[in-house]
Every structure is written in structure tokens, then in C-alpha cells.
Amino acid sequence: MAVIVFYEATPVDTFQLTNGLQGTDHYWEYVSGVITPENINPNAEVISVFVDSVVTQEIMKRMPKLKLIATRSSGVNHIDLDYAKQRNITVVNVPNFGENTVAEHTFALLLMLARKLPDTINSVKDGSYSPAQHIGIDLIGKTIGIIGMGKIGGFMASISKGFQMDVLAYDISPKPDLAEKLGFKYTDMVSLLERSDIVSLHIPLSPESYHLINPKTIQHMKRGVILLNTARGELVDNRALVRALASGHIAGAGLDTIEGEKFLKTSSIIGNLVEKAAAPESYLHTAEAMALLRMKNVVITPHSAYNTIKAISRINTCTTKNIIDFWYGNTPNKVNIPHSSGKLVIVRHGQSEWNALGKWTGTTDVSITSTGIQESIDIGKKIMNIPFDFAYISQQIRTKETLDAIKKGANQPDLNYEETASINERDYGIYTGMRKNDIKKIIGDKEYDLLRRSWDGPVEGGESLKDVYERAVPFYLRIILPRLLHGQNILVVAHGNSIRSLIKYIENISDADIGNLEMIQGCALSYEVNKDGRMKHKEVILMDTTEDNEP
């Protein structure tokens, strides 16, 4: 007999789950709210949660008998899989439960936009309805472009054909038999965007699909297109979408998910404001979410495309079967827990010519010395057992020269890289090129320390550390983190201050404490991170000797 606790249990869940477990000798109880440290049952051997219950290491530690987590969802981002794996706690999910359900919801969003129903309904209620202001469009004869022709995409094609629409599709693995059966045509991505009156997204998130809808791809779309996204919020660049909606390039958007969707909730906004090292991007996501909520040509639903009686029944039936099967040693829906993330390795550039002279370099292009080359080769040897998938460097030549030396030492000569201004060194303004000791003599030790280490102290003609943080961290979250979460190993070669900015976010260091942090040369920091890009594990890889050569 197992002790089972169901969280986020609605009356429908309670009825269906009870029916599914009847006839077993298990004991079960229901909690209507999300799981918290305060409402756990320390004797629980099985817990079942939905997506709003965040199952952290702290929560699992309070349940020493826990053997199984049965999530009533396909996604598992709300569970600390690394700790579950460490504790040998099995995680099972519901892989398929609502392909037609999600497709129907997507089409409901389309119909609402095509006939301007939200604004029409509101105007009727407030007595301001005007037919001329609420003219819709017919769907018959329109072309819908479906990106991702899996099961949901297939149902979308079937429904669209029922409305006598022309259907185009893009998929990395075309299925000619399915196209013939359902009567749609495959095409390339650009052609689909250029020819479609409606674009509907039904693909998983990956480094390649992140911000698939962006300023460049929007330019390929017809003016007046309708965009539908019931897949993953991160497929769409929110700011690009808001601009296109405001200009009329995109006539309407139906969204069951958006990037940063947690900021649709007031509690998440408040939590972010009190965070020690909040991501600058989080404030932008909050603004984007509020803007999208208030636009008349946008319909947002709260990740509820699954929410029908039959789909919930399928979820709960699968969940009870998962629990019963587990007790008999059968786990067909066991989640294969991957490594938490790829490795993020951060290296400061090797000693530069101005480092050797004790000068503040900033954004000045200065090469590294022979000492800098050798120490970078040595660092490469230290990390040669990490097979890197990609590297990012700043626009300063010293990071490129350092990367070349690391590649040589690591015996990875073909490692591809990208330059970005986001991780450029801090601009020291009027102090650029001055020797440290000379600056101290001019402004005094106290002002020098404040200038060198303060969080937001102004620099005449230059940048504060806060300014660097506000360009480096969004780049990390938008570009680097998705690669890490898909298992890629990423090398970043940057500068003392851009690295301090990244560390501040990754290690959640407060504004007051960041002044005590130094990133020395001749070492590498290796991180594994969680889904928010925060540190889960850190390793400091040192050479035999290290030296601080630059502020």
C-alpha cells in the first residue's frame, strides 16, 4: 500500500482519480492548492502534481519516503529532475492527452480573431457596438501555414480543410503520406511565411526554434497575417510581436503561451521585484505581457488549451495507471532525466599589453601578450575534456586571441564562435588608458575603490557595472541559456566586468556584495544551471598560478 497525495486537485480531478484508484489498497488524499513546504505529507510515497506546483529539492527533502512523482502534464519543467535523480525518485508524465483538444483551442483563437469577437462582445456590453468597427474576415479560401506537422498539426490541417482553407506545412521531417491523406502541401519556411494568411505554431522549443518569429521572419509575412501560438512561448520574440501588432503588419495574435508568461501573475511580478539579482529581461517580459494583454487584436489564454472534460479524463486515467503500474514495476511513461544542462565555461581573456602596464583597458582594442597566449593555451589544456558545441566572445580582439589559444590547448580547432557586443568590457570613459596608480593619486583610494567596484556608480563618459549587467544578462538568457538547456556545452571568453555581471545573475549575488567579487585571469568557471539560468553546480578550474591583472 502506498500513501499518495494529489495536489491542485479540482472536483473533476477528485472524482476521476478516485474512480481510477478504486479497487486498489492504496491510501490517497487531495489538496486543492499547489504543493508547498507547509502542506506536504512527510509520509507520502507518491505525489501527483500539475504544472503550477513547483517540486523543489527542499520539498522533496521533507518527504523521505517519496518514491514517485506523477505529474499530470507532459512537461516536467516544474520538477527538480536533478535532485529526483539523485534521490532515485521516479518521475512519470502524461505524454499524450489532447492533440485534437489543443488543435480545437487553436482554431477557437483563430475564429475569435477573424470575427473580432472579444472587442465585439465588450462593445455590446458597454453599448458602443458599431458594425463598421467590427468587420471580420471569412476563412474559406484563406491559406493557413502550419509549422510543425505532428499530431496537433495534423488535427489543425484536418479542421482547416473542413473550413475549405488551403493548407501549407513546414516540418523538418515531412510525411508525404500524411500530406496526401489530409490534402496539404509541404513547403520551405520562407515560402510558408510569404504565402500564408494565418501562421500557426506547433513545434517544440529548441536552440534552433527559439524566437522563430522575430523581426526578420516577420518581414517575410504578409501584411495583415494572423499568428497563432499554442506550443511554446519562447518561439515568439514578444517585442517583435508587439511592434508588428501595433503597426498592423500582424493583424492579430492568438496566444495560449507567451515568453515570460509567469509575469501575467501579480505574485510573480512582486517576487521578481524583491529578487537579489533579477534578470533585466524579466522587467521587459512584464512590460511585454501587460502590453499584449491590453491590445485589442490579441487574445491570450492562460496555457489552457488542454482544458476539456475529455482531455482531463485522459490525463487522470493515465496518471492513475502510471501510479498503479509503478507499484508493479512497470513505468512506460517514465521521464528520462537528462543531465541538468550542458556545461557553461567562462574564461577571462589572457593578459593583455595594457594589463601588463597596469592600465585600464575598457573597450580599447589591445592584443594579449605572449604570457596571455601561453596562459590561455594552458587553460585550454585544463578544459580539453569538455567537448564544446559553440563559443561566444566579445568584440575586443583580446577575447578572439584568447579563444584561438584555448582552442589550440584544448585540441578543438574547429570550434565555431560568435562575436557579440553584449559581453564587451565595461567602458571606463575618461579613465580609459590610465594607469591604476595614477587614478588613485588623482581621485584618492576611497573614490578609486568606489569607481572600480560599485554597482551603479557613474563613470564620466563610460559605464557602471549595472550598465554592463543590463546588456550581458539578457544575452545570456536569450541566446546562451536555451543552448545549455538542450545539453550543449558553451564556452564564453569575456572580460572582468562582463563576467562579473554574468556571475551576479548566475549565482544570485546582491548589489551590495558584487563589489567583493573578482574574476581573475588564468582560470575557468564551469557551471551547470537550472531552467532559469541559475547555478546548480560550480567548479573552479585553476592553473598552477593565477594573477589579477586588470580591474
Query: Are 123 and 272 in the same domain?
Result: yes
Q: Does the residue 333 lie in any domain?
A: no
Active-site residues: which are they?
A: 232, 261, 303
In CATH, what number is assigned to the domain containing residue 287?
A: 3.40.50.720
Residue 278's identity, in one-letter code, is A
Residue 338, domain member (yes or no) = no
Same domain (yes/no): 275, 154: yes
CA gap 224, 245 in Å, rounded: 9
Distance separating alpha carbons of residues 160 and 142, to the nearest angstrom: 9
What pLDDT sits at residue 531? 81
User: Hunting for cell 527559439 — which residue is that?
Assistant: 210
Domain check: are 69 and 123 in the same one? no
Q: How many residues does the chain have?
A: 551
Q: Do residues 104 and 85 both lie within one domain?
A: no
Q: Are residues 130 and 54 in the same domain?
A: no
Q: Where are the beta strands (DSSP E) in 159-224?
A: 166-170, 185-186, 198-201
Q: How many domains is the chain partitioned into structurally?
A: 3
HEC readout, 347-412:
EECCCEHHHHHCECCCCCCCCECHHHHHHHHHHHHHCCCCCCCEEEECCCHHHHHHHHHHHHHHCC
Let me know whether 351 and 265 are in one domain.
no
pLDDT of 549:
45
- The pTM for the full model equals 0.70
Neighbours of 196 (CB within 10 A): 26
Residue 63 lies in a domain: yes
Contact 280, 466 (CB under 8 A): no
* 149, three cell numbers: 506537422
The verdict on 285 and 314 lying in the same domain is no
Q: Domain range for residue 190?
A: 99-300
Asked if residue 366 and residue 511 are part of one domain, the reply reads yes
Instruction: For residues 181 and 152, state if they share a domain.
Output: yes
pLDDT tens sequence for the chain (551 residues): 899 999 999 999 999 999 999 999 999 999 999 999 999 999 999 999 998 899 999 999 999 999 999 999 988 888 988 889 989 999 999 988 778 999 999 999 999 999 999 888 888 998 998 888 889 999 999 999 999 999 999 999 999 999 999 999 999 999 999 999 999 999 999 999 999 999 999 998 887 888 999 999 999 999 999 999 999 998 999 999 999 999 999 999 999 998 877 666 667 666 766 666 666 666 677 788 888 988 999 999 988 998 899 999 999 999 999 999 998 999 999 998 766 679 999 999 999 999 889 888 888 999 999 999 999 999 999 999 999 999 999 999 999 999 999 999 999 999 999 999 999 999 988 988 888 888 888 888 888 877 877 888 888 889 999 999 999 998 998 889 989 988 899 999 999 999 999 999 999 998 888 888 776 777 899 999 988 899 988 999 987 654 444 44
Angle (CA) 46 48 51, round 5°: 145
- Does residue 428 belong to any structural domain of this protein? yes
In one letter, which amino acid is 442?
I
Query: What pLDDT score was predicted for residue 551?
Result: 43
| Residue at 218 is within a domain | yes
Same domain as 294, residue 254: yes
Residues 203 and 272 in one domain: yes
For residue 547, which phi and psi values (nearest 5 degrees)?
-150, 140
What does 408-443 look like in DSSP terms, one character per residue? HHHT-TT--EEE-GGGPPPP-GGGTT-BHHHHHHHH
